[in-house]
């Protein structure tokens, strides 16, 4: 691999989606509308988004020895993603996600991680050259924190830039954050990580959360704000990057598309503000379409 390449480490799932007028409350059964299955998982979504936008992408993950796993590998090959570092788990099934999407495009998601949870530091050491030779390493938190720690350690030892999407939000060890170059929480994840409530439209609260996250040792913070775009904090300066106005149909993988696009721009040497602008445009296109990976745009669509 060369230094313009991207390595994504993370989860791959099969998404089982039901469309409904509104999201159910606790204990309630709703009669929904259409049902469909799509490939998903935060890691896989980000790998596909990066590949469609022109990135040279390798994906490291674990799949089950089942139909879902075989279909996932076929899909990665079709998307032009290097799948040589995908491990097959003989014991655990492939991951699945149950998703409900309402008429406004909002969603609830429950994930059964399956083989994703067994991706280990030992697996990463078998693929070390991929990580150390890459320009960018893109990570999320649907795999074990122990594996995330190992990946960050391997990347920083060779000068590979690390983007961490802290989703789903959880405690992140200080030694990991100190070696992350770019942290990309959404509004809710930033709240959970800092305790600072960020209401819609409250850029002041988002700025306070970004400052708090910067104090953990991360150089650059990007808080994604949905239809409001993103807040970039770098070099003690704040920049609000607005998103194009669109009608959302399904927001399921918008954050994943944002991160995949960001990785492509950073690997290509694009400046940070322009990289965030590019990522906002890509994410805005994705919310106008149903599905996770199926919503990811191609580079010519951004142009």
Least confident of 14-23, 229-238, 256-265, 288-297: 288-297
Of 15, 66, 256, 274, which residue is the catalytic one? 256
Query: Does residue 67 surpass a pLDDT of 50?
Result: yes
Mean pLDDT (whole number) for 270-281:
97
- Grade residue 2 by pLDDT with cuts at 50, 70 and 90: low
| Per-residue confidence band for 21, with pLDDT thresholds at 50, 70 and 90 | very high
For the segment(s) 6-22+34-295, the CATH number from 3.40.1190.20, 3.40.50.11540, 3.50.30.10, 3.40.630.30 is 3.40.1190.20
Task: Domain ranges for the chain, please list them.
Answer: 6-22+34-295
**Does 21 participate in catalysis according to the annotation?**
no
Higher-confidence residue: 264 or 3? 264
Q: What is the pLDDT of residue 184?
A: 98
Residue 176 · residue 213 · CB < 8 Å: no
Q: What is the DSSP letter of 12?
A: -
pLDDT, tens digit, 9 for 90 and up, residues 89-146: 999 999 998 989 898 888 888 889 999 999 999 999 998 789 999 999 999 999 999 9
Q: What is the pTM of this model?
A: 0.91
Annotate 135-160 with b (16+ C-beta within 10 A) or e (fewer).
bbbbbbbbbbeebbbbbbbbbbeeeb
Reported confidence tier of residue 36, pLDDT bands at 50, 70, 90 = confident
The pLDDT assigned to 260 comes to 98
Predicted pLDDT of residue 1: 45
Distance of CA 272 to the CA centre of its chain: 18
pLDDT at 3: 54
Interatomic CA distance for residues 31 and 203, integer angstroms: 38
Q: Phi, psi at residue 37, to the nearest 5°?
A: -115, 140
Angle at the Cα of 58 from the Cα atoms of 53 and 61, rounded to 5 degrees: 120
- In percent, how much of the chain has pLDDT > 90? 80
Does residue 34 surpass a pLDDT of 60?
Answer: yes
Q: Helix, strand, or coil here: 216? A: coil
Rounded to an integer, what is the distance from CA 283 to the centroid of its chain? 11
At 263 the three-state DSSP class reads helix
CA 136 to mean position of chain CA atoms? 14
Q: pLDDT band for position 210 (50/70/90)?
A: very high
């Amino acid at each position: 691999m060369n230094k313009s390449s991207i390595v994504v480490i993370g989860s791959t799932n099969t998404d089982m989606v039901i469309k409904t007028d509104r999201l159910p409350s606790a204990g309630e059964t709703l009669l929904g509308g259409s049902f469909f299955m799509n490939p998903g998982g935060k890691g896989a979504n980000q790998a596909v988004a990066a590949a469609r936008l022109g990135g040279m992408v390798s994906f490291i993950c674990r799949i089950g020895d089942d139909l879902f796993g075989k279909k996932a590998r076929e899909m990665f090959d079709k998307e032009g993603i290097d799948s040589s570092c995908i491990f097959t788990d003989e014991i655990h099934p492939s991951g699945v996600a149950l998703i409900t999407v309402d008429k406004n495009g909002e969603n609830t998601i429950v994930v059964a991680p399956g083989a994703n949870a067994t991706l280990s530091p030992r697996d990463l050491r078998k693929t070390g050259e991929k990580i150390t030779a890459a320009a960018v390493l893109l990570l999320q938190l649907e795999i074990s924190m122990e594996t995330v720690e190992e990946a960050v350690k391997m990347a920083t030892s060779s000068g590979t830039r690390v983007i961490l999407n802290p989703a789903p939000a959880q405690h992140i060890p200080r030694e990991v954050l100190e070696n992350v170059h770019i942290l990309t929480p959404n509004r809710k994840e930033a709240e959970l990580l800092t305790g600072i409530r960020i209401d819609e439209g409250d850029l002041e609260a988002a700025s306070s959360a970004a400052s708090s996250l910067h104090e953990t040792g991360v150089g650059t913070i990007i808080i994604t704000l949905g239809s409001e775009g993103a807040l970039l904090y770098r070099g003690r300066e704040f920049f609000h990057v607005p998103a194009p106005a669109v009608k959302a149909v399904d927001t399921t993988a918008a954050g994943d598309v944002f991160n995949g696009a960001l990785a492509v721009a950073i690997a290509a040497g694009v400046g940070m503000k322009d990289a965030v602008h590019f990522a906002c445009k890509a994410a805005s296109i994705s919310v106008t379409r149903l599905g996770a990976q199926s919503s990811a745009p191609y580079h010519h669509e951004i142009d």
